[in-house]
Structure 1
Amino acid sequence: MLDTIPAWRRWPGALLRWLLPPCCALCGMRGEAAVCHGCESAYVAARPRCPVCANPAGELDAALPCGACLAAPPAFDATLAAFDYAAPLDGLVLQLKFGAQLALAPWMALALHREAGRTALPPPELLCPVPLGARRLAGRGYNQALEVARPLARLLGAELAPRLAQRVLETAAQSGVAPGERRRNVRGAFAVADAGLVRGRHVGVVDDVMTSGHTLDELARVLKQAGAARVTNFVFARTPPHRINHE
């Protein structure tokens, strides 16, 4: 409890907060939250989506898989996305991924948890982040998907398995690969470290953004081969279809 912590151990943190007060990542207003209430009210709004791939859908179609998922069903069973990957919220993904703004990760997890509460999706038993390759992890120093998965696992009451999925091939970043080549780029990139942990269970896969969906599809395929009963994606942002060909 806070009262049991000596005052001399509390003052450095209080001094740091006074010298460098937390600010909203979008508008810069001082406050305790990573994104202030005003920006949440202005930019955060739930929208109907395909329950499988989370692409935007009409109000009457949101309960059913979209035409693309019916024509070519992915290996995953469902996708939950908090927002579209569009301005200004796309900047938060970039701040977390490339700017080491790790304080954004708990806020993203909370947004995903709220979105999960609006759906009838069954909660996952196991939660794992999309893994980075060793070279990219060494260069960045952290895995942004794991930073979101840690608080999300606590919120969902799921077991966190940070090393369950392993990237066994160093692949080019999907953002730098032509859309038509992205599926081939990640083929065979993943392995499951412990099939016994997966077998018969509902696995949640966490990532910061979903663009073409090929990375998550490949990882879900490997998890299903290892015996997963169900795979649900939890992504902070979903790139709308009209933007995919321009990235």
Structure 2
Amino acid sequence: MRFPTWRPIWWRPRVQCLLCGGPAEHADLPLCTGCDDDLPWLAGHCSICALPLPATGLTCAQCLRRSPSFQRVETPLRYGFPVDALVTRFKHQSDAPSGRLLGQLLERHLLHAFGEGLVRPDRLIPVPLSRRRERHRGFNQAALLAGWLSGPLGVPVDNRLVQRPQDTPAQQGLDAATRKRNLRNAFALADGANLEGLHLALVDDVLTTGATAERIARLLRRAGARRVDVYCLARTPAPE
């Protein structure tokens, strides 16, 4: 006969920091205070596209020349060490705990932003992968992130609205001009989509040139969406 294992009411399983292996202070966040403080948090940035800048409240030259179709980008982190390693492990090594940690950091950032007056969207829209790439990888990281965010944010996910019917080459490693050409006719909306007056938020992992977000946001705005925001884990700095 097996007897139950009794533990004190205060007992909790020890949670380790995913970055240093030390004890994490919070049972629901696998990150210690020291590693949390040392993450490449996004400080000064463009008020529209979140490009890292020397100070807050500025608008980058590109957004001044031409306003993007999305209204603003919300992201907590710069794309640098160790965030780049966590994103790589999540996307290319199927390391769900790394992705979950990054999702929790984005969740924390968004909840704070909502508390500061950021307007909550009507739906979360994950950026789709092509069918071939999703089959090869086994999942769509943006869809996982949107699913993790949905409950805590109180915003439903629509996984079918934006589709990617064409198998275009991966954006990684391409310059800005090639990225734009690569995305021509890459995305489509589901038949009968009614977006009139909706506020939508695109969810993706990393924003680099913003070409993908711009292409989808333009498609959504032309279909009647009132506003499109972008929620992502990290923002890359401007190329040297």
Q: TM-score, normalised by structure 1?
A: 0.82
1:45-194 to structure 2, matched below 5 A, reads 45-59=41-55, 62-116=56-110, 117-118=112-113, 120-193=117-190
Distance across 1 between alignment mates of 2:51 and 2:162: 25
> In structure 2, what is the equivalent of residue 203 of structure 1?
200
Distance across 1 between alignment mates of 2:118 and 2:192: 24
Deviation at 1:108, TM superposition (A): 2.2
Q: Tell me the C-alpha RMSD between the 2 structures.
A: 2.5
Deviation at 1:30, TM superposition (A): 5.5
Identity %: 36
SS in 2 for 1:207: strand
Letter in 2 for 1:55: L
Q: TM-score, normalised by structure 2?
A: 0.84
Letter in 1 for 2:221: K
Letter in 1 for 2:46: C
Quick check: 1:199–1:227 contact (8 Å CA) kept in 2?
Answer: yes
Distance across 2 between alignment mates of 1:54 and 1:68: 12
> In structure 1, what is the equivalent of residue 22 of structure 2?
29
Letter in 1 for 2:71: D
Would the alpha carbon gap of residues 166 and 196 (structure 1) be closer, same or farther in structure 2, given more than 3 Å must change? closer
Distance across 2 between alignment mates of 1:195 and 1:40: 44
Deviation at 1:71, TM superposition (A): 0.1
Deviation at 1:125, TM superposition (A): 1.0
Quick check: 1:171–1:189 contact (8 Å CA) kept in 2?
Answer: yes
Would the alpha carbon gap of residues 153 and 195 (structure 1) be closer, same or farther in structure 2, given more than 3 Å must change? farther
Quick check: 1:34–1:104 contact (8 Å CA) kept in 2?
Answer: no
Would the alpha carbon gap of residues 44 and 66 (structure 1) be closer, same or farther in structure 2, given more than 3 Å must change? closer
Distance across 2 between alignment mates of 1:159 and 1:195: 19
Q: Which runs of 5+ in 2 are unaligned?
A: 6-12
Flag the structure with higher helix content: 1
Range that drifts further, 30-39 or 123-132: 30-39
Quick check: 1:113–1:156 contact (8 Å CA) kept in 2?
Answer: yes
SS in 2 for 1:168: coil
Quick check: 1:51–1:80 contact (8 Å CA) kept in 2?
Answer: no
Letter in 2 for 1:85: Y
SS in 2 for 1:159: coil
Q: Which runs of 5+ in 1 are unaligned?
A: 1-6, 11-17
Aligned pairs, how many? Answer: 226
Range that drifts further, 191-200 or 126-135: 191-200
> In structure 2, what is the equivalent of residue 41 of structure 1?
37
Quick check: 2:121–2:199 contact (8 Å CA) kept in 1?
Answer: yes
Runs ≥4 residues deviating over 4 A: none
Quick check: 1:51–1:63 contact (8 Å CA) kept in 2?
Answer: yes
Letter in 2 for 1:24: C
Deviation at 1:168, TM superposition (A): 1.5
Letter in 1 for 2:62: A
Deviation at 1:161, TM superposition (A): 0.7
Would the alpha carbon gap of residues 23 and 223 (structure 1) be closer, same or farther in structure 2, given more than 3 Å must change? same
